[in-house]
């Protein structure tokens, strides 16, 4: 059991320690891109308060911490020799975790690409995959003596869709289907990084995919086709190449121009585990606009989070047993690397307790049904910078007062603490 966070969402200190700008600095400082113009400039000030935050984890009683490394701290301009001051921060963090008996599980890319790489094409460019592998090697050179479990990428589907297809996240490009190369280059970077990590002694390497069980809004053929397409883009585009070394057939033509010989073998480098972030299922209908492929429909009759996301714990059980049924022995052990909900700005968050309780129960049932689940991470330890929603969505077991940086554990924190005892 652990908690998850991500660098740009909590660290702040964006110009300290020699950190270079990331695409999220640029995006959040562009008027109109985030709610209230919020930025990650200060966020939870975790860069300075990390020790206090690790103490919170000790108090909670979790055995593992999933955090992400900010690439622009390690290579401020995206390439070249690693920046020692940047590495020092994660070095201290890893030592701090070891001293508290908490396992460190770094994610190497949780969306904060160095702006300098975006200027050279970002993930639309194959070059970024090569740079990512090089960066992964630098980080492992420094902390790989103490870290054996790694996550390469966080949710490449969300980065592709929101960042490059729809423009709702950094880097804010609106390429629609032309964003497809971003999938391939991220996956290639993942595969190359797996090899770099293994060479440096990593024993457990995974990718974290955002997965959602997809249902058609009706049994009409057009809704079913739309649901199949959505499932193809959201789930299969990222699970299939890493698990079985091929893309969903309907995407072969679109991806052909960027796939080179040998790429799929690199992408399918065997994984020790699959990381899954689950928040909700998705209901899909045929498109109402001719230039779209599908419409997303609200799921009625279930509670919704402050964010408006439907709460369906059974979706997690169905997702896990479905992956097992689809991929059989090709499915490695699974970690739920994120699950959680946003609530209003309250301390008595019974809503979150019910959410977590329901989803843990769903995981338990999946385990009984034969799925090998090795871990579960709550998103998130702290309220933080929720991307385009700024500070309006509070996902923390711990409330953060962003004026004073005071941390206050919520009822859900106590509940989890008791459960872990
Ligand atoms: C996931 C992201 C994470 C956080 C949660 C709410 O998609 O990986 O950073 O924003 O959603």
Q: Please compute Rg for the chain using Cα positions.
A: 20
For ligand 1, is residue 23 a contact (CB within 6 Å)?
no
Nearest to 242 by CA among 216, 271, 213, 218: 271
Question: What average pLDDT does this structure show over 185-213?
Answer: 98
Are 327 and 243 in contact by the 8 Å Cβ rule? The answer is: yes
pLDDT tens-place string over residues 256-303: 999 999 999 999 999 999 999 999 999 999 999 988 999 999 999 999
Q: Where are the beta strands (DSSP E) in 237-313?
A: 274-277, 282-285, 295-297
What is the model's pLDDT at position 369? 98
Q: How confident is the model at residue 90 (pLDDT cuts 50, 70, 90)?
A: very high
Assign 343 to helix, strand or coil: strand
Q: Does the predicted TM-score (pTM) go above 0.95?
A: yes
- The position carrying tokens 């652990």 is 2
Q: Which of 11, 118, 134, 338 is catalytic?
A: 338
- Specify whether 155 is catalytic: yes
Tens of pLDDT, residues 103-140:
999 999 999 999 999 999 999 999 999 999 999 999 99
Q: How far apart are CA 4 and CA 380, in angstroms?
A: 5
Residue nearest to atom 5 of ligand 1 (CA): 379
Tell me which of 11, 118, 134, 155 is the catalytic residue.
155
What's the gap in Å between 235 CA and the centre of ligand 1?
A: 16
Instruction: Give the atom of ligand 1 at the shortest distance from the alpha carbon of 9.
Output: 9
């Amino acid at each position: 059991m652990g908690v998850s966070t991500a660098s740009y969402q909590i660290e702040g200190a964006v110009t300290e320690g020699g950190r270079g700008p990331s695409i999220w600095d640029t995006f959040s400082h562009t008027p109109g891109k985030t709610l209230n113009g919020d930025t990650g400039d200060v966020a939870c000030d975790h860069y300075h308060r990390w020790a206090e935050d690790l103490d919170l984890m000790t108090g909670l009683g979790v055995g593992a911490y999933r955090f992400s490394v900010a690439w622009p701290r390690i290579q401020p301009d995206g390439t070249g020799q690693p920046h020692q001051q940047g590495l020092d921060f994660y070095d201290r963090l890893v030592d701090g975790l070891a001293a508290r008996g908490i396992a460190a599980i770094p994610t190497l890319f949780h969306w904060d690409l160095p702006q300098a790489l975006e200027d050279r094409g970002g993930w639309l460019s194959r070059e970024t995959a090569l740079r990512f592998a090089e960066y992964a090697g630098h980080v492992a050179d420094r902390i790989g003596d103490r870290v054996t479990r790694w996550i390469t990428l966080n949710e490449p589907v969300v980065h592709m869709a929101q960042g490059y297809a729809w423009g709702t996240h950094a880097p804010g490009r609106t390429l629609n289907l032309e964003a497809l190369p971003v999938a391939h280059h991220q996956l290639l970077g993942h595969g190359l990084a797996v090899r770099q990590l293994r060479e440096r002694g990593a024993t457990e390497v995974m990718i974290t995919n955002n997965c959602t069980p997809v249902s058609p809004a009706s049994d009409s053929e057009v809704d079913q086709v739309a649901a199949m397409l959505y499932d193809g883009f959201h789930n299969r585009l990222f699970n299939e190449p890493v698990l079985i070394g091929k893309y969903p057939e309907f995407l072969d033509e679109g991806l052909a121009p960027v796939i080179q010989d040998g790429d799929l073998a690199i992408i399918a480098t065997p994984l020790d585990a699959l990381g899954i972030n689950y928040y909700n299922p998705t209901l899909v209908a045929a498109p109402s606009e001719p230039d779209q492929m599908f419409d997303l429909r609200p799921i009625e009759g279930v509670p919704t989070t402050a964010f408006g996301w439907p709460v369906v714990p059974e979706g997690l059980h169905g997702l896990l047993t479905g992956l097992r049924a689809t991929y059989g022995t090709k499915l490695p052990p699974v970690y739920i690397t994120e699950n959680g909900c946003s609530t209003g700005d309250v301390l008595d968050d019974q809503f979150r307790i019910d959410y977590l309780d329901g989803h843990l129960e769903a995981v338990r049932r999946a385990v009984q049904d034969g799925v090998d689940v090795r871990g579960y991470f709550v998103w998130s330890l702290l309220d933080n910078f929720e991307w385009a929603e700024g500070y309006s969505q509070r996902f923390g077991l711990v409330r953060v007062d962003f004026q004073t940086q005071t941390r206050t554990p919520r009822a859900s924190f106590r509940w989890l603490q008791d459960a872990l005892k």
